[in-house]
């Protein structure tokens, strides 16, 4: 089993989760993080660290975010590994309150 980063992370990109990951399974996009399902060891350390509650074990992922299983798998091989905590995006606190942000994902997985 793996963990999945879901929609609440879009345009926030807090990296508290990265700081606790023992296997460097997080990858960084422009405004979102993903977890490499091939590297994640399902240790469970990252979900409680996420300020936006954006990380779920795959079997607990809310149905409305099922497409994020594919998004994490698609982008983890393409985006660079992030292995150290960074500052969140400048308006992360405001973005954390917004729902339905999939169209804001950069790059948008449903374009092109």
Quick: pLDDT tens for 72-99.
999 999 999 999 999 999 999 999 999 9
| Tally of domains within the chain | 1
pTM listed for this prediction: 0.94
Q: Is the residue at 107 inside a domain?
A: no
Could you tell me if 27 and 76 are in contact, meaning their C-beta atoms sit under 8 angstroms apart? Answer: yes
- What is residue 1's predicted lDDT score, i.e. its pLDDT? 84
Q: Is the residue at 46 inside a domain?
A: yes
Q: Is the residue at 83 inside a domain?
A: yes
pLDDT band at 26 (very low <50, low <70, confident <90, very high): very high
């Amino acid at each position: 089993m793996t963990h999945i980063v879901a929609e609440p992370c879009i345009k926030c990109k807090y990296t508290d989760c990265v700081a606790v990951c023992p296997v460097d399974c997080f990858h960084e996009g422009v405004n979102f993080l993903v977890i490499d399902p091939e590297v994640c060891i399902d240790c469970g350390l990252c979900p409680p660290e996420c300020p936006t509650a954006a990380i779920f074990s795959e079997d607990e992922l809310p149905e409305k975010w099922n497409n994020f299983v594919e998004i994490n798998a698609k982008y983890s091989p393409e985006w660079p590994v992030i292995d150290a905590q960074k500052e969140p995006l400048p308006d992360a606190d405001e973005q954390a309150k917004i729902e339905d942000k999939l169209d804001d994902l950069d790059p948008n997985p449903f374009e092109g």
